[in-house]
Amino acid sequence: MAISLTAAARRTRRPGLARWAFYGFSVFACAWIATQLYYFAQIAVWNVVNPQSTAFMRSDAWRLSSERADPAIQHTWVPYEQISRNLKRAIIASEDAKFVSNNGYETDAILQAWEKNKSRGRIVAGGSTITQQLARNLFLSRDKSYLRKGQELIITWMLETLMDKQRIFEIYLNSVEWGDGVYGAQAAAQHYYRTSAAKLTAWQAARLAVMLPRPRYFDEHRNSPWLSQRAAVIARRMGVAELPQ
């Protein structure tokens, strides 16, 4: 009799566990879909409204509030036409030579990054295009994980679907990190060269473009020989960089 009661208890417990598992999965799925819909709607709005801040900016503002008396982020939005063509060409030459023609992804670059990460035993590269970098800066964190990379690819698809290349590039130029608390082309031009984004020379633009993968490091190491050498390479490539129309 005791054995049969135990078996019956197990049979009644299993459907309960299944229901809870289904409930948990449903909550997770609904939350994930709601998050994607939020991203999609926000990107649609940014087609006509300029972003006031990004996830990276907000994260930095919180960090700087505990490190500085004045934690203000350096950031000033300027229209696409008021940003030097030198800087636009330098960034494309340095970060994403096929920006105008690709669909937001570079499969070869992603595969190369995957192989590099496997050989190092940790995530050290992402193979990101300009659009992927923008997706990360706008919505995500600085943490490196394949889960975050997957979300980045989904947001990249949204950006490429809802925006043209020039708008993507305009937002990128105005929101990318260029130093400790320095965001966007105008703030970078003022921070490093005491000039405007519209007046950046080819050499200044090449140096700024090369800083992008490690902006905080190069903010502190502006006399790095590697920075100058790499900038010379990018300066030579700028002439063939294709800009979005």
Confidence tier at 80 by pLDDT (50, 70, 90): very high
Provide mean pLDDT across the span 91-110: 87
With a CB cutoff of 8 Å and minimum separation 6, the contacts of 89 are 205, 238, 239, 241, 243
At a CB cut-off of 8 Å and minimum separation 6, what does 30 contact?
Answer: none
Q: How confident is the model at residue 16 (pLDDT cuts 50, 70, 90)?
A: confident
> Within its chain, how far is the Cα of 11 from the centroid?
50
Question: 108-140, pLDDT tens digit by residue?
Answer: 766 675 566 656 655 545 568 999 999 999 999
pTM: 0.86
Mean pLDDT score of the chain, rounded to an integer?
88
Residue 30 clears pLDDT 60, i.e. is over it:
yes
The residue ranges of every structural domain in the chain are 1-38
SS3 23: helix
Cα–Cα–Cα angle for 21, 23, 27, rounded to 5 degrees: 120
Q: Would you call 96 exposed, middle or buried from its count of C-beta atoms within 10 A (0-12, 13-18, 19+)?
A: buried
